[in-house]
């Protein structure tokens, strides 16, 4: 758990929304999966889902490769590395991965989001993620994206997660969590998984701090006194 007065002070409020419950459920947001790109004469890369210039070319996502879900040791390595790099609670990063892909590195959503942290093609390009199906690249980009959203919304976890799902524009338009059914369900699931992973982490810490002799059956002491007749 984060210490509000310590090194992770800017993340102290990430624990506050864990009791949040959605109050409004309306229709889902529209979404599109096709992204187009071109590079102008100045070397600037332009991205759009509406190709208004003939220079735009459709960005094709890399082909999926068949792969099993990641081994727990690999998940732990990626979570630990990028949670530390971007000053995120490991339980939060793990919760987003669990909610988005259930630890499946080749998962693809109906909207075209890809990989462990379900990066959209445009987001992946912006984050310099060349292959969203590569676990290392995906978690590197997704964790950086989540950190940027938390900074943008001043540590408000609910809004940051809403923007992760629905986009920054939608959150800023409503100045609150957007009333999209998909987004509200996503935030609720992430917070639930976050609570569970925090509890698992706390239990593991307690076990690690328990002295070994408290869990070892004790033999009765051998008395030096002679038995009475």
Each residue of 91-134: pLDDT tens digit? 999 999 999 999 999 999 988 899 999 999 999 999 999 999 99
pLDDT reported for residue 96: 98
Whether pTM exceeds 0.85: no
> Is 100 an active-site residue?
yes
The whole-number average pLDDT for the span 46-63 is 68
pLDDT reported for residue 13: 57
Each residue of 145-196: pLDDT tens digit? 999 999 999 999 999 999 999 999 999 999 999 999 999 999 999 999 999 9
Confidence class for position 46, pLDDT limits 50, 70, 90: low
pLDDT reported for residue 4: 33
pLDDT reported for residue 155: 96
pLDDT reported for residue 41: 78
pLDDT at 21 over 60: no
Residues 6+ positions from 85 with CB-CB distance below 8 Å: 143
Which candidate in 34, 100, 136, 182 is catalytic? 100
pLDDT reported for residue 39: 78
Partners of residue 108 on adjacent β-strands: 114
Tell me the residue length of the chain.
229
pLDDT reported for residue 207: 82
CA-to-CA distance for 68 and 77, rounded, in angstroms? 17
Q: Which two tokens stand for residue 187?
A: 């935030």
pLDDT reported for residue 198: 96
Q: Per-residue DSSP letters for 38-66? A: EE-TTS-EEEESS--STT-EEPPPPPP--
The whole-number average pLDDT for the span 71-98 is 96
Would you say the C-alpha torsion 195, 188, 107, 112 has a positive or negative sign?
negative
Confidence class for position 6, pLDDT limits 50, 70, 90: very low
CA-to-CA distance for 125 and 116, rounded, in angstroms? 16
48: left (phi over 0), alpha (psi -120 to 50) or beta: beta
Within 13 A of 213's CA, how many CA atoms are on the CB side?
2
Each residue of 187-209: pLDDT tens digit? 999 999 999 999 999 998 888 77
For 13, 34, 183, 216, the CA distances from 162, given in Å and listed in that order, are 16, 22, 6, 48
Each residue of 55-74: pLDDT tens digit? 877 766 555 555 556 788 99
Q: Per-residue DSSP letters for the chain? A: ---TTSTTGGGGGGGGGGG-------PPPP-----EEEE-TTS-EEEESS--STT-EEPPPPPP---PPPPHHHHHHHHHHHHHHTT--HHHHHHHHHHHHTT-TT-B-TT--BTTTTB-HHHHHHTT-S-TTSHHHHHHHHHHHHHHHHHHTTT-HHHHHHHHHH-HHHHHHHTSS---HHHHHHHHHHHHHHHHHHHHHHHHHHHHHS-GGGSSPPPPPPP-SPPP-
């Amino acid at each position: 758990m984060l210490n509000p007065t310590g090194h992770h002070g800017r993340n102290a409020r990430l624990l506050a929304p864990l009791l949040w419950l959605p109050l409004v459920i309306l229709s889902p947001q529209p979404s599109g999966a096709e992204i187009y790109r071109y590079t102008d004469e100045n070397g600037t890369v332009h991205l759009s889902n509406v190709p208004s210039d003939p220079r735009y070319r459709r960005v094709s996502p890399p082909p999926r490769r068949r792969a099993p879900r990641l081994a727990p040791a690999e998940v732990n390595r990626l979570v630990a590395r990028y949670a530390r790099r971007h000053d995120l609670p490991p339980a939060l990063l793990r919760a987003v991965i669990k909610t988005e892909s259930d630890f499946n590195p080749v998962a693809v959503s109906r909207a075209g989001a890809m990989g462990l942290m379900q990066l959209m093609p445009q987001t992946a390009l912006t984050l310099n993620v060349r292959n969203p199906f590569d676990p290392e690249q995906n978690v590197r980009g997704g964790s950086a994206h989540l950190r940027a959203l938390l900074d943008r919304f001043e540590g408000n976890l609910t809004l940051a997660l809403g923007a992760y799902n629905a986009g920054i524009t939608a959150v800023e338009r409503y100045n609150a969590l957007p009333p999209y059914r998909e987004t509200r369900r996503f935030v609720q699931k992430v917070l639930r998984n976050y609570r569970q992973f925090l509890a698992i982490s706390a239990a593991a810490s307690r076990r690690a701090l328990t002295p070994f002799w408290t869990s070892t059956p004790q033999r009765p002491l051998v008395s030096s006194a002679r038995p009475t007749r």
